[in-house]
Amino acid sequence: MEVYRDLAGLRAALSEARAGGRDVALVPTMGALHAGHIALVEAARRPGTLVVASIFVNPKQFGANEDLSRYPRKEVSDIAMLTDAGCDLLWLPPVEQMYPAGFATNVSVSGVSEGWDGAARPGHFDGVATVVAKLFNQVRPTRAYFGEKDFQQLAVIRRMVADLDFDIEITGVPTQREDDGLALSSRNVYLLPEERQKAVALPRALGVAARAVLAGTDPAKALADATATLTAAGFTVDYVALVDAETLQSDPTPGQRRQLLAAARLGNTRLIDNLAVDPL
């Protein structure tokens, strides 16, 4: 796997690949890779495709009191994992390359960015949209892969791609989970052993709520029950919501696919998860 840390080198390598007839697929990440990220790389791999992963811990998507300085960084093992997964090229831009002095542009997607994590983390999705727009212009992929784990992020990216005419096919990859159901996340390393045991209550509560809603329970009651279960398990709940899977508006219109979204904190660690309610 080739590793690039400067934009000119990256662009030269990509031009050469394109001239050789290869398609370019992009997997953006913040590193501290796990099997969830690797599932994106595997989804991106196809004959004739150059798979590019990026690792960039994007300061613009962290709030002032969030975990930017302690976010896990594992470059050596990340490179080994990507190489094993058959990734062709790694883009590792330094922060000064992404945001040089004088950088003044912000990409803001209204609507889908506004509720849920957008409300809990002001500015977060502007940071995500801005960096992903830059990555798209730097790498110019024909396809890009994002995890359904970050369900609202995926909706924000899809909206941005449609609105700004990026000629890029976006694929959402199903959430990869531990054996007990906890969604894989780079932030799971923050969990103390007893918190890790409690964390499984999050996917379980979503499963119970999804089954209840499908069985006809009033959604408001199912959401209140999930919140109570999580609180009893030691979580501080930011939100548990039933939304339209496309618009992310609550009170989905009948006939539209519905998704449960949740964010809750265990000690200093904030976990998010989501689950489709309606069978495909």
Q: What are the residue numbers of the active site?
A: 37
Distance CA 229, CA 209 (A): 10
- Strand ranges in the chain using DSSP code E only, listed in sequence order: 2-4, 23-29, 49-55, 89-91, 143-147, 169-173, 236-244, 258-266, 269-276
Q: Kindly state whether residue 147 participates in binding ligand AMP, applying the rule CB under 6 A.
A: yes
The residues in 232-271 that bind ligand AMP, with binding defined as CB under 6 A, are: none
Q: Kindly state whether residue 37 participates in binding ligand AMP, applying the rule CB under 6 A.
A: yes
Residue 95 CB contacts under 8 Å (≥ 6 apart), including other chains: 56, 59
Contact of 216 with 232, CB cutoff 8 Å:
no
CB closer to ligand AMP out of 81 and 223: 81
The number of angstroms, rounded, from the C-alpha of 120 to the middle of its chain's C-alpha atoms is 16
Instruction: State in angstroms the smallest separation of the CB of 155 from ligand AMP.
Output: 12
The number of angstroms, rounded, from the C-alpha of 105 to the middle of its chain's C-alpha atoms is 22
Q: Does 250 carry a binding-site annotation?
A: no
Q: Kindly state whether residue 93 participates in binding ligand AMP, applying the rule CB under 6 A.
A: no
CB closer to ligand AMP out of 148 and 238: 148
CB closer to ligand AMP out of 27 and 213: 27
Q: Does 33 carry a binding-site annotation?
A: yes
Token readout for 20 is 């050789």
Contact of 183 with 176, CB cutoff 8 Å:
yes
Q: Kindly state whether residue 146 participates in binding ligand AMP, applying the rule CB under 6 A.
A: yes
Contact of 1 with 48, CB cutoff 8 Å:
no
DSSP H or E stretch at residue 75:
helix 75-84
Q: Does 89 carry a binding-site annotation?
A: no
CB closer to ligand AMP out of 145 and 235: 145
Contact of 257 with 244, CB cutoff 8 Å:
yes
Q: Kindly state whether residue 184 participates in binding ligand AMP, applying the rule CB under 6 A.
A: yes
- Interacting residue with ligand AMP among 10, 29, 98, 258 (CB under 6 A): 29
Instruction: State in angstroms the smallest separation of the CB of 173 from ligand AMP.
Output: 5
Q: Does 148 carry a binding-site annotation?
A: yes
Q: Kindly state whether residue 188 participates in binding ligand AMP, applying the rule CB under 6 A.
A: no
Instruction: State in angstroms the smallest separation of the CB of 253 from ligand AMP.
Output: 26
Q: Kindly state whether residue 273 participates in binding ligand AMP, applying the rule CB under 6 A.
A: no
Distance CA 170, CA 154 (A): 9
Residue ranges in contact with ligand AMP by CB under 6 A: 29-30, 36-37, 39-40, 146-147, 149-150, 173, 175-176, 183-186
Which parts are annotated binding residues for ATP?
30-37, 147-150, 184-187
